[in-house]
Structure 1
Amino acid sequence: MNIKEKEIELLEDNLKNIRILRNKLDKTSASIFLLSLFIYNTTEMNTSIKLAMIGFEVKSIYAIFILYIVSLAFAINYTISTIREMLLFIRYEKLLIDVYGSTPESLSLMFETDSEFRYRVFTGKWNRINTIYNLSILLPFIIGYFWMSYELVTITSELKFINFASFIVFILTIYFSLIFSRMLYLDWKTGKMRSTEGKVANGG
């Protein structure tokens, strides 16, 4: 086994592990965010509630900040893991071509996300269904994150914890915006590159 074949083997293991990790981060981030949103909209800020992750009662406003900051941290890690998966997969494809001359026809089926796979289920004009579905899932979360960040950052309080937590939310939101934009750009760039390569391969 030469070094490139060994790297292919390592990449296969890493891609599998990253996919598992990314799914966990996605579910955890969404669950914690929805919990923070629920508490924010259904309880008084001075109400005491028991927060399972820290094991004791805190005021609702503290719980909201803690949950939301944790959710943002998971969302950032999810986005970074997605970018890492993209870059590793690009390297994996390149190595397969270098070593074997081409990639397996089922490669994209094995590694594409559920969102990408749905575009194989509905094709042509029916792809609009996929677009509408994806936007209906993604947009509420994106809008919800930024709305929640705005709400928490604009809270005025004499409590040092609230002011510090608001600052942390502000910093994390800015960073999340930048890293999420980078992920979208890489996804677009990768898709465009594959489209160009496909046209060249087909003599277009």
Structure 2
Amino acid sequence: MTAYTVRDAKIEDAQRILEIYAYYVENTAITFEYDVPSKEEFKQRMRKTMQKYPYLVIEKEGRVYGYAYAGPFKERAAYDWACELSIYVDHAAKKCGLGKQLYAALTECLKQMGITNLYACIGYPQTEDEYLDKNSEQFHAHLGFQTVGTFHRCGYKFNRWYDMIWMEKMIGEHQSQQLPVAYRTAQKNRI
């Protein structure tokens, strides 16, 4: 039986990654985006991320089943050691450990870069419904993230208001003389 493998995403993966993401845009409040982006717009998003941060996919026998990437928490220089993470797994392949495997690989990449803080911005239901449950919060908590903030009724989708929570996980040491982040600029050659 062939195992799943994690690798750096390539722009050629954009169509499949977009297919995975489209399900969440059209059928859930996991993302607060209303419209599925075009393939070209999605490629641009990928290129921008890949300029500095890891963008990973998990695949089996050449088929991508999920992806995860990091990006800046905020644009100011003092936030360089903090990243916001995003992860999406094919909706038909959930609860198979793919997300955990992706996040483990992503976390290791970020540790090697010198990142110290990870953040996840998560849509959160006041009452679970057909568009949003608490699975993402539970998944992140299982991986060691802690809720550090709640924004009440800040997202409106499917004629409903949803909360948004921020979760945080520390993965590095905070020094008085912190080394600069080693961004993944080498990926630029593959974009």
Alignment TM-score > 0.5, same fold: no
* Structure with more of its chain in helix, by fraction: 1
Larger radius of gyration: 1
TM-score (norm 2): 0.27
The structure where strand makes up a greater share of residues is: 2
